Structure 1
Amino acid sequence: MKISTVLGGMAASASILACTTAFAQAGVPENGPSLRDLAPVQTYSVPDSDGAAPRALPPPGDDDAGSGLRIDAAAQADEQPEPLDLKGAWRPLRPTYAPGAWQPMGLDLLDDQTPSAGQTMAGLGWKLGSKNWNYTSAGGLGLTLGNASPTTPAWASSTTLGGVGLSKGLSPGNADTGQWQYATMVGALDYSPGTTEGGLDYGPAASTSVLRYGLSSNLTLESQMETAPAMKTMGLGGTYNTHQWGVWSAGVARASQEMDDGMRYQVGYQTSLLGRLQLSWVGEHRSAGFSDLSLYRNFADNEAQDSNLWKLTMPLGSYGDLSGSYQAIETPSGPPVEVFGVSHQFALNQNVKLALQAQRQRYTGDYDVGLQLSIPLN
């Protein structure tokens, strides 16, 4: 078997060689197709091309900064894009009714003047309070960040919120004729203890707003709205200043919470006696089911009541203010309550303030005595 296979291979080789010789003798050109054309790698001739002659680099100049390259400053300036002008782009789109004070951090984006490097927050209109930051612009716009007691009418009760407050043109007395004033605050009810130790304690989300309008130099109309989960309170009233005979205030409010609703009527009066003594009186009638933010936490315990509060304040100049108060409360379900109180507030020096307060109930004999010392840490 092995000898036959070898002989067969030799015969096949002789046949291929004979065929090749026959093709050559038949006139087939030597440069025609061959077995080399079937190889996976082929070679091709590439014509020679003359490269550019090398050039020497130009000598370095003053603008090269040791880099060895010369920079054309004019060409580079033309290639750089122009800086984006945000002021110029926003200026034509600014509405005509938008006040310039509506800019962040008390800065006007349209004002080309920038604060100096050493300018403080107080120079920008910000002031640090005991529990908040307050900003007041030149146009009368006020911004409060932190815990504060929002402005309320004289015929309403105040409370403390933690959040963001905004006000415009508020004045302590009557508004000028034709002037609008407003104040609003959005945040959460602050239940943190006032004078005792303890951490922060916040309640549900709440908001309050006040709108005032000066109908005349003596009469200012006021409205108030308070909201909290499942509660809404709306009130209308006003303040009338008689100048020589004191200031009267009155308001009526309606509230609804869950399935209850109620009304509140309040009248107040404030005047000066002998040019120095300040006398005030507040009378209030509240029906069952009435609730506002000051009563929201203990709404289940609220009931109808009539109350009268008298207060007499005597200024003592550098010795502070001495006040005495008397409050009488009547409820359908219990005996009347009468509370006498005395308080004295004065400054020990420029930074230290001291407050003394004492209260005693007439029928039960219970009494409270408090001492508060305030020292700023800044």
Structure 2
Amino acid sequence: MAAPAPGAPGTGPQLSDLAPVKLFPVTLPTTEPPAPLPDPGPAPPQGHAAEDGHDVPDIPYDYFWAVDDAMPALDRSFAVSGSGLLGPQERKRKSASHGRWLPPASRDPWTLGSRNWRYSDAEGLNLTLGNEEIEIPAWGRAVRLGGVSLSQSSLVSSDYADSWRYSLSLGALDQTTAEQGDLVYGETAGNLVLRYGLNRDLSIESQTQLAPDLATHGIGGKYQTGWGAWSAGVARATQGLYTGWRYQAAYTVKVLDDVELSWRNERYTPGFVDLSRYGADASNGGTVQTVSAKLPLGRWGDLSGSFQNESVGSGAARRSFGLAQQFWYSPNLRIGLKAQREVVTGDYDIGIRFSVPIY
């Protein structure tokens, strides 16, 4: 066959068919020249109108930040990684006490003491199981009971005006002495104290004590002034064939905002016996004068001193003075110091007590 002549159009493969890039015709788009935007019209409604004329958004209020929303975050610890987010092991932060060696405050309503187990809630209810010093009026005398104590006050949710408080203790008399060292309990007993506050300065108190063959009832009051607090009370006791009365008056004042001074005068007639003198001879009356002072020492506790002069109808007299102090030496060690001296007999007593909490 005869080959086509060079340059003849059209027939057979061409050299341009072997090129890697092929060209095709493209139509270029045309754009309009820029023009200014039109004026914005009224904005569409974003919510509904409230009564005061302001727009209220249609977003649920659960998505808005409130003041109370910050409270849960204050009780949490942030991640150590520094991202600002709560870590996977979140734990509540414990508030530190004012004292250096005091144990940290706990949010647990149950607390374990050296002689008792105590429960306290936010409503002002307190329950104690174990050994505790009973609640007394300002003019009363303290004594320890081993058993159950229940108390509650309205001051948690109300003001001083028309406030009330009650305290009930049931158990056995604690007759343990420092010389023996062993736990010694006596007869079963009960103590009830009711307090009603007319206002911030004036309150009325009553006390009832019961034990085998003993019933004591008392009433009194406390008045707070700018120069201190006055308290007075009268009580009547019946034990077997004996019936007697007790009259008390006390005054407490603070000096230099730190030192607290107290004075108390007590007179009881023959036949009067309460829980603090249970089992004593009721045939004689007597008088008791007590002067005490207390000085706070910060983390070293409170240093207290007292002088007591007691005389009975039979002519016997007793005069004594003493010093006492308790403080936390470390988070797991509490130290108590006590010294007492009898003026008439010359006897003295010096002691130190170490308390170690067990958890």
Q: Normalising to structure 1: TM-score of the pair?
A: 0.62
Corresponding residue to 1:241 among 216, 224, 235? 224
Query: Residue 129 and residue 195 in structure 1: after superposition, are their counterparts in 2 closer, same or farther (change >3 A)?
Result: farther
Greater shift in the superposed pair: 179-188 or 301-310: 301-310
Greater shift in the superposed pair: 154-163 or 231-240: 154-163
Runs of at least 5 residues in structure 1 that lack an aligned partner in the other structure:
1-117
Paired position in structure 2 for 1:342: 323
Paired position in structure 1 for 2:202: 219
| Equivalent residues in 2 for 1:184-203, closer than 5 Å | 184-193=168-177, 196-198=180-182, 200-203=183-186
Paired position in structure 2 for 1:162: 146
Paired position in structure 2 for 1:130: 114
Inter-partner Cα distance in structure 1 for 2:269 and 2:148: 32
| Structure 2 residue 228 is matched with structure 1 residue 252 | no
1:163 Cα deviation after fit: 2.0
Native 8 Å contact 1:195 1:372 kept in 2: no
Inter-partner Cα distance in structure 2 for 1:170 and 1:257: 34
| Structure 2 residue 269 is matched with structure 1 residue 287 | yes
| Structure 2 residue 353 is matched with structure 1 residue 372 | yes
Q: Which has the higher helix share?
A: 1
Greater shift in the superposed pair: 155-164 or 246-255: 155-164
Greater shift in the superposed pair: 229-238 or 300-309: 300-309
- Give SS of 1:290's match: coil
Paired position in structure 1 for 2:76: none
Q: Which has the larger radius of gyration?
A: 1
Inter-partner Cα distance in structure 1 for 2:247 and 2:268: 6
Native 8 Å contact 2:160 2:199 kept in 1: yes
Runs of 4+ residues over 6 Å off in structure 1: none
Native 8 Å contact 1:187 1:207 kept in 2: yes
1:268 Cα deviation after fit: 0.9
| Equivalent residues in 2 for 1:1-378, closer than 5 Å | 125-169=109-153, 176-193=160-177, 196-198=180-182, 200-242=183-225, 244-296=226-278, 298-300=279-281, 303-378=284-359
Inter-partner Cα distance in structure 2 for 1:351 and 1:339: 33
Query: Residue 344 and residue 134 in structure 1: after superposition, are their counterparts in 2 closer, same or farther (change >3 A)?
Result: closer
Paired position in structure 1 for 2:7: none
Q: Quick one: which amino acid aligns to residue 221 of structure 2?
A: G
Inter-partner Cα distance in structure 2 for 1:241 and 1:256: 32
- Give SS of 1:318's match: helix
1:343 Cα deviation after fit: 2.4
Paired position in structure 2 for 1:92: none
Q: CA RMSD in A?
A: 2.5
- Give SS of 2:276's match: helix
Inter-partner Cα distance in structure 2 for 1:336 and 1:280: 22
Greater shift in the superposed pair: 273-282 or 233-242: 273-282
Native 8 Å contact 2:114 2:355 kept in 1: no
1:278 Cα deviation after fit: 1.0
Q: Which has the higher strand share?
A: 2
Q: Share of identical aligned residues, percent?
A: 43
Runs of at least 5 residues in structure 2 that lack an aligned partner in the other structure:
1-90, 92-105
Q: Normalising to structure 2: TM-score of the pair?
A: 0.65
